Amino acid sequence: MKLFQETIGIRSRDGRPIGEISIKGKCDILKERAKEFANEILKYQGVVGISLGGGLSRGYGDHLSEIDLNIYLEDDVYHEWIIGMGPIPHGDALWKDTWVDIAFYSYEKEYSEQWGLTKKWDASYNIILFDSEEKIKKLFNDKDVFTSQEKYDLVFKFFQECEYFGDLVVRQWIERLDPLSANQLLNLGVSGLIGMVFLANDEYPPHPKWALNYSYSLKWLPKNWRERISKIILTKEISLNEAKRRLRAFTRLYKECKEKIFGKNLKNLGFIEISTMEELQFIIDNSPVQIEKFAETFDLIHLSYEPIFEFTKILIKNNKRMITFNKEKYIKHKKQNFPTVLDWSKPLLNNLSLN
């Protein structure tokens, strides 16, 4: 999607978001034990590299922490270790009175596979303990790409949680006089709101366990973020008035996040409307555009949705299907405030540029 650009090298940034943990006293001790354990593992053949993950890699360790070690192996060795023929167990184990969580990986497989966002987020903090040929460094750097498609998919998910669950459906349950459903659905909206502040900072969203806690240290946040999100999370009573109070606070915060991501002109548009506007603008800027060119970036089925359907046509030119924008029809309908489209399509149509 053109709405977002690919980001490379988040791992190497200064000032990454970190957890706000009150007890950190065991971090240095556990890191030293991790190095000791890693040194013991290095005695065995086929170990390509070892990294430290989990909370220790992000700078904290308390009485609830364990040592998360990722062991990267040559492929043939990996297949031996995962069936129990290696020197150490996979998963949770006790080593010198310390809990460890050990993960075996085939280096070749890890390099060839696509990583999900949670894995990218975790790896972006990993500390490399052993890497004789810098293969792990290359692996982490090459996988450290926050793609435009990943951002699009995330913002679609977060906007759905915010706009659908946190706004539209909440209003519906208020109208239907069900305060329990209204308040419960606002909780789903909060998850999307937290995700959006990470996107606004062009950061990988953390695992849900850490998302709110890590949000406190983001470089950009809405003013009084912690206080305001607290007032939304807080449910004083199960009532319609309480749902309305929380909804007002939620909507204000949501619009600030959306303005940061998309700009002031689009803050009142929904994400689907913003996406549709982008598609229509692409057609306007390139009209007539070959249908295959459109399909390189957008989903062809969107051509059959309003309001694209209303203002475009597919014509055959030199045996090629071309998408054309009906500029005259658009100008005429704009003067009449677009009488043939749904109300929520009018703002996006008014934001289009014919230049």
DSSP string, 158-204: HHIIIIIIIIIHHHHHHHTT-HHHHHHHHHHHHHHHHHHHHHHTT-P
Compute φ and ψ for 138, nearest 5 degrees.
-65, -40
Sign of CA dihedral 256, 262, 263, 266: negative
Q: Would you state the pLDDT for residue 23?
A: 61
Helix, strand, coil fractions of the chain, as percent rounded to 5:
55, 15, 30
Q: Would you state the pLDDT for residue 150?
A: 94
Do 174 and 243 contact (CB within 8 A), yes or no? yes
Q: Quick one: which of 194, 130, 115 has its CA closest to 162?
A: 194
Beta bridge partners of 103: 70
Written as tens digits, the pLDDT of the chain (355 aa) is 456 889 999 999 999 998 887 665 688 888 999 999 999 999 999 999 999 999 889 988 777 788 999 999 999 999 999 999 999 999 988 888 888 899 999 999 999 999 999 999 999 999 999 998 999 999 999 999 999 989 988 988 888 888 888 888 999 999 999 999 999 999 989 999 999 999 999 999 999 999 999 999 999 999 999 999 999 999 999 999 999 999 999 999 999 998 898 888 777 777 788 889 889 999 999 999 999 999 998 889 999 999 999 999 999 988 999 999 999 999 999 999 999 888 888 988 988 998 7
- CATH number for domain 271-350, candidates 1.10.3470, 2.60.40, 1.10.10, 3.40.50: 1.10.10
Do 41 and 47 contact (CB within 8 A), yes or no? yes
8-145 in CATH: which number? Answer: 3.30.460.10
